[in-house]
A = this chain, B = another copy of it.
Amino acid sequence: MKLAAVDVRQAASAADIVYDALRKAIIDGDLTEGENLRQDQIAQMFNTSRIPVREALSRLEQHGLITTERYKGAVVAGLSIEEIDEIFEFRALVEAEVMRLAVPNLDHETLAAARRHCEEFGLETDSARWGEINRSFHYSLYAASKRPYYLQIVRTSLDRIDRYLRAQLTLTNGVMRANREHEAILAACLKGDAELASRLTRDHVLDAGRSLVAFLKDQRA
């Protein structure tokens, strides 16, 4: 008897599913700052008991995406202007270094993929997708750094501020500038100029941070 080999992959646990869904909802901004997260309500949404929900909430709290208080429950964490500023500063430091380390390892395939993401970003008209494509562009280059720990940190940092970034990315001029900066970074990568790519990445992140902070200061005032 002949059978095709089937990749029986481990099914994710309920806690994993709930965690992934809530994380996505928070970084997408579908759950807004300060919003209450009732264990019971979430459990019903996912057709589970509160146990896996609590585990998911506990993980989210570890990553700073929510805060919890006994007998009170969990709320989506908000960030102060100062905290947002600090995270952008941190990202600029780490992502610039990741970019520097990535350039020597970039091959044609990776560069082609990055170019596709870059073009896609320029052509996309659905503002809801900009954030996602933006991540894809940067990550496709960052991956060449072969620094999984750095990338994990970048991911958790980005998770914290992504929803604010998306709010600001809906402003068209922000997208235009981001697109120009992406092209400049890509050009530096094609030239193999690690220092330039690193500096441009740093400025790209700091720029985004500055305009976001300005946007939020205005909005919150």
Residues of A within 8 A of B (CB): 10, 13, 15, 51, 54-55, 58-59, 62-63, 70, 83, 86-87, 89-90, 93-94, 97, 147-150, 153, 157
Contacts and interface: CB of A to CB of B under 8 A. Distances in A.
A93 B83 contact: no
Contacts of A153: 90, 153
A118 to B, nearest CB: 27
A108 B94 CA distance: 31
A73 to B, nearest CB: 14
Q: What number of copies of this chain does the assembly contain?
A: 2
6 contacts: A10-B70, A54-B55, A58-B59, A59-B59, A83-B148, A149-B157
Contacts of A70: 10, 13
Nearest to A89: B147
Contact of A149 (B13, B62, B86, B97): B86
A149 B84 CA distance: 10
A157 to B, nearest CB: 8
Contacts of A87: 149
A147 B90 CA distance: 9
